[in-house]
Chain A
Amino acid sequence: MDLVSSTDEGDIDMIFLTTAMICEAKALTRQLGLKRVKEYRQFPIYEGDGYILVVSGIGKTACAAATAFMLTRFGAGPSDLLVNIGLCASTSDRLDRGKTVIANKVIDHDSGRHFFPDMIWKHPFQEVGLETFSTCIEDGGRGITILGECVDMEASGAFEAASFFLAPHQISIIKIIYDYLSPVRPDHALVTDFLVEPCARILVWLKDLPMEVLVEQEALTEEDIGLLEWAVKRMRLTASMAWELKQLATYYRLSGWDLKDLIRPHYVPSCKTKNEGKAVFERLKRGIYPE
């Protein structure tokens, strides 16, 4: 029933990716054809068609810093997504090695804080609670209380940092099970190959997301706003009257009318005093125009 008069066409959807290690990133950059952006020395950043990827280094602090850096530098907005991708360990052998999991809950082990992405996207992955530790958990996690079904070292940093910029439905944490809390360090040379297939599936999923649902629709176009600013100056309106005019204009616009029919030089004469402007505004509000 309600009328949508414009969409913000200037907004380009961007998918921001973070990985901890270069060898993880390679599985994505190669498939997406992302190129390294040379100007950033703090973190390796790769860019390509609709994607930006940052390699943070290992650990939640590094991940938080890199995430915040990327989202600030590239001006993340309401129609963008952030996806943290990488290896994780499973606390149970019920999850197969190589399985892709998505976190419906992220637990920061140190602070005990829990974070919840908004699970609005349909996905083909297994959902888990993921717990982020500051150090490597080895020896099967003996002597440590682990609440998550999976364990990593970055997710809570990515989530907490991204939450300053994005809504919880814009943040996804996707991991691939690599080990079962074993002391074996990942062999970087093999990790990229190990991740190629799971990453391909993640990218297909991302490509098919209905990003258009993220686009905020506004009643007034940029041209309308320009017109209103012009009228406010011309009538010398106070801030509260300007707000009232904007509200009226919104209703007018949502009724399917063209604002140019209401606000035109003939109806909005240039006023010399505030009182004169007030009188013109009152006339405008009541719909009484000079013939």
Chain B
Amino acid sequence: MITRRFSHIYIEEAILDSEVIRRICTSFPNAQQVPIGHYKDVFCRKRQDFRLQKRTPKLILAMKRPPFLYSGSANCDSFGNHSFYYTSSMMNCPYDCAYCYLKGMYPSANLVIFVNQEEIFEEVDKRLAAHPLYLCISYDTDLLSFEPVTGFVDSWMKFASRRPDLFLEIRTKCAFIRPFLSRPALRNVIVAWTLSPEYVIKNYEMGTPNLAARIRSIKAVMKAGWQVRICIDPVLFIDNYREDTSWARHQGTDLKVWERIYQGFLDKVFMSLDGDRLTSVSIGAFRMAKDYLKRTRRRYPCSRILHYPFKLNRNGVYCYPPSLENRILGELAKYAARFVPLEKIRIFTSSIP
């Protein structure tokens, strides 16, 4: 038998007696607590089995050391913002999306929570003294999914409410929305919800709320006056491989099944949500940096979506062949334009040949 999720909490000795640790640990009353010197002693061990750890992740509570802020990655859309930064209060994610780049990025599937949020706030204030800041606070994780444990999103909301030059983006697949309903909406916060067809959620986004639950949450948050962006990202190429008999179709030249799934999905989303009131809809196809994909494939040798014959672009990123990527993004944008003003649709392309 395998231990339950979060059966163990590894805590850096320096913060063992702090209030925030006590608060987090109350969510796991039966967990075994193990004092550690530095989070890397556990997180960066040699030869860890990521796949196995993902089935039974442990929690690591640690202090974040500088740098506290990072420049945004070229594989992400900065939405035209020049001072585009991200910060990681957590490493890894309680969800288990088959296509997640974290599977190739980290040596371990255990979850690290950095508890010294105040120091990150201080760093943000320093930057704000020089210029406005666009900051993604749910990067390399889904921060909101752990909100009942950490309360970090709530603290960020409080912090942002007094700093009009700070623009926060919180990206999530979660349906937990208490931090947004317990206060008036903030103009400088965008909640970015990643949505996928139910087929994709069921098969490739393990542990995440279903589409209906996400849509319900979005509706409530929009009703409360918050700005919401919908991210249809990553768009996956879905085919009917169990019935296909042609290798050519198989490699992504037939979009029949894909179209049915993604059009049905957009119909469902915009039957419930008013596209005019969304801040934007961003669309991007699956992509992953070369080294991450290599490692992820090694860790998940039987994952079909990861073993698609992707093409390497000149930035060292694997993506669908340009012809396929252009087609699926184009089709999706065209269909989305039935519900959302064209100028609000942003397409992120990575298949630069």
Contacts of B307 in A (CB 8 A): 219, 247, 250-251, 254
Output the nearest chain A residue to B245 by Cβ-Cβ distance. Answer: A257
Decide: A127 near B32, CB < 8 A? Known: A104-B8, A121-B2, A169-B52.
Answer: yes
A120 to B32, CA, bound (A): 12
- A287: Cβ under 8 A from any B Cβ: yes
B308 contacts the other chain (CB 8 A):
yes
When each residue 205-241 of chain B gets 1 if its CB lies under 8 Å from chain A and 0 otherwise, what string results? 0000000000000000000000000000000000001
How many pairs of residues, A versus B, come closer than 8 Å at their CB atoms?
119
Query: How far is the CB of A246 from the nearest CB of chain B, in Å?
Result: 10
Per-residue 0/1 for B246-278: is the Cβ within 8 Å of any A Cβ (1 yes, 0 no)? 111011000000000000000000000000000
> How far does the alpha carbon of A254 sit from the alpha carbon of B203 in the complex, in Å?
15
CB closest residue in chain B, given A255: B241
**Chain A residues, Cβ within 8 Å of B1:** 121-122, 208-210
Complex Cα distance, B7 from A116, in Å, reads: 15
Which of B17-25, B43-51, B83-91, B327-335 faces chain A?
A: B43-51
Query: Which A94-126 residues have C-beta < 8 A from chain B?
Result: 104-105, 114, 116, 118-122
Taking CB atoms, residues of chain B closer than 8 Å to A168 are 45-48
Bound CA–CA A167/B52 (angstroms): 11
- Contacting pair A2 B98 (CB below 8 A): yes
Query: Are B34 and A5 touching (Cβ within 8 A)?
Result: no
Binding site for B on A (CB under 8 A): 1-5, 78, 104-105, 114, 116, 118-122, 127, 129, 163, 166-169, 208-210, 213-214, 216-219, 244, 247-248, 250-252, 254-257, 262, 285-288
Q: Is the CB of A120 within 8 A of B2?
A: yes
Cross-chain contact B34 with A219 (CB below 8 angstroms)? no
Given that A116-B34, A116-B42, A218-B301 are contacting pairs, would A1 and B203 also be in contact in the complex, using a CB cutoff of 8 Å?
yes
Bound-state CA distance A248–B311 (Å) is 12
What separation, in Å, do the CA atoms of A255 and B237 have in the docked complex? 14
Q: How far is the CA of A119 from the CA of B203 in the complex (A)?
A: 28
Residue of B nearest to A244 (CB): B309
| CB-based contact B303/A2 at 8 Å | yes
Smallest CB separation, B250 vs chain A (Å): 6
Complex interface: chain B residues within 8 A of A252 (CB): 247, 250
Q: A105-B34, A129-B34 are in contact. Are A287 and B2 (CB under 8 A)?
A: no
B302 interface hit (Cβ, 8 Å): yes
* B36 surroundings in chain A (CB, below 8 A): 105, 114, 116
* Contact residue among B41, B52, B244, B247 (Cβ-Cβ distance under 8 Å from A114): B41
Q: Knowing that A2-B303, A168-B46, A218-B302 are A-B contacts, what are 16 other residue pairs whose CB atoms are under 8 Å apart, sorted by A's residue number?
A: A2-B305, A3-B304, A118-B49, A118-B52, A119-B7, A119-B32, A120-B3, A121-B3, A127-B32, A129-B34, A166-B47, A217-B302, A252-B247, A255-B304, A285-B309, A287-B251
**Minimal beta-carbon separation of A247 from chain B (angstroms):** 6
CA A122 to CA B32, docked complex, whole Å: 12
Tell me the minimal C-beta distance from B241 to chain A in angstroms. 4
